[in-house]
Structure 1
Amino acid sequence: MIKLLYITNGIDGSGGLERVLSIKASYLAEYYNYDVTILCLNGLKEPFYSFSSKIKFVSIDVSGNPLAYFLNYKRGIRNIIKTVEPDIISVCDDGLKGFLLPQILKSKTPIIYERHASVSLNFNTAKKGFFQKLKNKFAYFIMRWAATKFDKFVVLTNGNLNEWNAGNLEVIPNPLSFYPKELPQKTKLPKTVVAVGSHSYNKGYDLLLQSWEKVNKEFPDWKLVIYGKKDAECKYEDLSNQLGISSSVTFNDPIPNIEEAYANAAMLVLPSRSEGFGMVLIEAMAYGMPCVSYDCPHGPGDIITNGEDGYLIENGNIDEFANRIIDLIQDPDNIAQMGINARINVERYLPERIVAQWDKLFKELI
């Protein structure tokens, strides 16, 4: 039995990293008989997504000033490794500290880094000042150096390969969260467009709402429904009021059973400025929906076949984004055909195909 230790910040979040970890770790425990332990920071909170009952969870406390935090982090992880004695360690942490684990641990156990975000995430920020840019570039320099120290550095898309100057790269995409054998019967096309993701600058909801203003003028009876963790300032809700579209836009908190939202929508939109992958794209496609997405770095370009199962839009082109939504609304038959194509094309992300790649990689490294 292979002992696998995942190191992450936590499992209570509603993001793609937590969703993917729940799928992979559970599949390895249930179908490949892995002995899986997940290490979290600062307590074990209720997971947002479901994990296999076979998985063990441990936590270390890290707090205090930067030096105390680092020492607690180093000591805590080393102690867990001594107890668990893993055959392989996989790091799921997009923060800078996760990159430093090979230097911190100095362990003979193979260590993998799983990169769940594009480097563009470090540069796509609402803060555009000189010092912020300098800080981002310095962090990227450290990350590119540290990436070479892992036994394998796994990215999600072919586009991500160009972001890292390392000889240890491997591409393994995210697995599907679900793939319904039969889709719910719709007596008529739902007049609903869905978007899923947190209210961060990177997710591009300001761009989406400007596009929706144009769509709303043409089709005032259609609704835009957004699911995601809201920002404290509620700036996107304020923007929808300013644009005069608030009656056609609904903002919802994250829900673990997002399938219900997909089952009751006609299409999904992804207005992100950058993506690590675009988990919501493959989820929506599994439910037979076409997707309209910016061709941002990186993920959508690997997932969507433009004009076949969705549309890829020039990054940041608000008018073209709106026009493609309008094109689909005006052609229900095209929505149906693209949805059929999407269901077929997305089968390549089924868990049994993706997790098999992880199993192969782990065994090669051991």
Structure 2
Amino acid sequence: MERIVLGKANWLVEHGYEVTIITTEQNGRSAFFPMHSSIKQFDLGINYSDYNEASFIRKFFAFLVKRRLHKRKLRTFLNNIRADIVISTFGNEVGILPSINDGSKKVVEIHFSRFFRIQENRKGLFSLVDYFRSFCDKRNASKYARLVLLTNEDVKHWPKLKNIVVIPNFTSITNETSNQNTKRAISVGRLTYQKGYDMLIHIWAKVVQRHSDWHLDIFGSGEDEQKLQDLIMQYSIPKYVTIHKPSPMIVQEYLNSSIYLLSSRYEGFPLVLCESMNYGLAPVAMACKCGPKDLIIDGESGFLVDEGDIDTFVEKTCQLIENKSLRERMGRIAHQRMSQYFTPEVIMQQWTQLFDEL
């Protein structure tokens, strides 16, 4: 989310827009990705994450207090800057923003898909909260001038809303692509339940039984790191899988790989899949909700596998490993598809058209 928000913000200031980014829990940290010097950034200091590890009751009441503080600070800030358009990224401000009468048009963009809260698969009372908040999401989204979705697939999950527009994310297009010579598969993302790395490690354990000269590199951090490391040891494949910290030099990692593997249980728009296809990697992806089906033409620019179908995922991965010409052809088509439909110029023209309409 940070990468695409900053990418859009950088493009906008370079094209004459004034941009302010408002955060709630930056805690003095600088941005991970480059930020144009003309962008103004202000942190409200709400820090919802202070209570991430608290009990349900304590977290619930702390949330109510922080939400009240959030609304007061946000209202004051927006009334001071008098923006023309204010965009929510579907964070904790999503239910607050429409009631702030600062004269701006309100837009909400969701970086996931419709039922992302339920798909997190939390247990107990948190599960009930996720169902309730998912119900509220549609009501909140209806109050905005526009609801921006990332995929056409997700549109059907928001029935009867008349304010929907689909604008996917973009990737910076390059002519430099993988030469498909490296016996390496790659996956990039947070080490969480969502990304399905537990399934991917299971898949790779089966792959290396047939192709022990190939290696899988996973780049990411998150709460499941130790669990995944334990799983690698359980399958006795530490020689064949390595988990790396996130890298700001991820471009070079793409170029030094031949296959991209996406094992997510759910997505909004898998930007890393978009990026890897841009660098000419042949992808194998779970056809989860939502995103992969908008990016990959099955059998042409990669392979789509039914959700949770580990055996087919293994077979498609081995098919790419065993056939370099197939990898090269799919990688070439994948790169061409990104160059045609997902460039910053193509996508940001859709955003500026939306701004002009509003």
Q: Please, what TM-score do these two structures have when normalized by structure 1?
A: 0.90
Deviates more, 1:132-141 or 1:161-170: 132-141
State whether residues 170 and 347 of structure 2, in contact with CA within 8 Å, keep that contact through their aligned partners in structure 1.
Answer: yes
Matched letter for residue 153 of structure 1: L
Partner of 1:283: 275
1:120 CA displacement: 3.4
1:71 CA displacement: 2.4
Is structure 2 residue 315 aligned with structure 1 residue 318?
no
State whether residues 173 and 338 of structure 2, in contact with CA within 8 Å, keep that contact through their aligned partners in structure 1.
Answer: no
Is structure 2 residue 239 aligned with structure 1 residue 247?
yes
1:247 CA displacement: 1.3
C-alpha change, 1:120 and 1:318, in structure 2 (3 Å) is farther
Root-mean-square deviation (CA, aligned residues, Å) is 1.6
Partner of 2:343: 350
Out of 192, 204, 211, the residue aligned to residue 203 of structure 2 is 211
Structure 1: gaps of 5 or more residues: 1-16
Is structure 2 residue 150 aligned with structure 1 residue 167?
no
Q: Distance in 2 between matches of 1:337 and 1:103?
A: 48
1:135 CA displacement: 2.2
Out of 13, 27, 51, the residue aligned to residue 35 of structure 2 is 51
1:51 CA displacement: 1.4
1:108 CA displacement: 3.1
C-alpha change, 1:180 and 1:103, in structure 2 (3 Å) is closer
State whether residues 226 and 250 of structure 1, in contact with CA within 8 Å, keep that contact through their aligned partners in structure 2.
Answer: yes
Q: How far does the alpha carbon of each residue in 1:120-142 deviate from its partner, in whole angstroms, 9 at most, with x for none?
A: 3212234344x444222211111
Q: Secondary structure at the match of 2:212?
A: coil
Matched letter for residue 16 of structure 2: N
Q: Please, what TM-score do these two structures have when normalized by structure 2?
A: 0.91
1:207 CA displacement: 0.8
The correspondence of residues 114-263 of structure 1 with structure 2, limited to 5 A, is: 114-129=109-124, 131-165=125-159, 166-176=161-171, 178-183=172-177, 186=179, 189-231=181-223, 234-263=226-255
Partner of 1:24: 8
After TM superposition, the runs of 4+ consecutive aligned structure 1 residues lying more than 6 A away are none
State whether residues 98 and 106 of structure 2, in contact with CA within 8 Å, keep that contact through their aligned partners in structure 1.
Answer: no
Q: Distance in 2 between matches of 1:54 and 1:106?
A: 26
Is structure 2 residue 69 aligned with structure 1 residue 72?
yes
Q: How far does the alpha carbon of each residue in 1:228-254 deviate from its partner, in whole angstroms, 9 at most, with x for none?
A: 113266101100110111210000111
1:290 CA displacement: 1.1
Partner of 1:88: 85
1:181 CA displacement: 2.5
Q: How far does the alpha carbon of each residue in 1:6-53 deviate from its partner, in whole angstroms, 9 at most, with x for none?
A: xxxxxxxxxxx10101110100110x2000111112444210111111
Structure 2: gaps of 5 or more residues: 49-61
Matched letter for residue 242 of structure 1: Q
Q: Secondary structure at the match of 1:274?
A: coil
Matched letter for residue 203 of structure 1: K
C-alpha change, 1:40 and 1:101, in structure 2 (3 Å) is same
Count how many residue pairs are aligned between Structure 1 and Structure 2: 342
